[in-house]
Amino acid sequence: MTGADQFYIKQVGRLYQQHQGWLSVFIQRRMSCPFTTADLVQDTYLRLLSSGRLPASGESRRYLTHIAKGLVIDFYRRRRVESAYLEYLQQQPQQVAVSSEERLQMVQALLEVDRLMRHLPDKVRQALLMRQIDNMSYKQIAAELEVSVSSVEKYIAKALQACMTASMEAF
């Protein structure tokens, strides 16, 4: 470990000592569980450590707030996706029951799909969902989105390209 690494770790430790109590209260106001709050406080400082960047002087709370808000949003997004998947599983026959490990893998995959879909432009995302989920024809999608069939073809191609790129990056 270099001297710079040691200095950085000491600075993050100092920030932790100065702001951990305040950050806990900030996150607790948004969460219903003290254990989750403690986890998110720790995750905030881990994210700070892994970023390799310290906030500017006088910007510590604002910087920590920015990180913490992102983690809280991620937490609720994950909970929403997991809840939807568990609801889907409950509607399935018993012989479709999955193990805890399979369920975790599926939730992680769904979160990745959710992340990918959020980054697509609105019409591209809508066209892909209409095609894949609603099984609509290109002509029906074009009518619904009030665009040409040619545009729908481009939207679907763009969405599938993004999916292909994401899957290649995963390997």
Supply 121's token pair.
């432009």
Query: The pTM is what?
Result: 0.67
CA 117 to chain CA centroid, Å, is 11
Q: Domain 119-171 belongs to what topology?
A: Arc Repressor Mutant, subunit A (1.10.10)
Burial category of 129 from C-beta neighbours within 10 Å (exposed 0-12, middle 13-18, buried 19 and up) = middle
What are the pLDDT digits (tens) for 24-33? 999 999 998 9
* pLDDT at residue 170, rounded to an integer: 60
Q: For the chain, list residues with pLDDT below 70.
A: 1, 4, 95-97, 170-171
What are the pLDDT digits (tens) for 152-170? 999 999 988 888 887 777 6
The per-residue b/e assignment along 27-45, b for 16 or more CB within 10 angstroms, e otherwise, is bbebbeeeebbeebbebbb
* pLDDT at residue 139, rounded to an integer: 94
Domain boundaries, the chain: 1-117, 119-171
Q: 111: Cβ–Cβ under 8 A, 6 or more apart, which residues?
A: 77, 78, 81
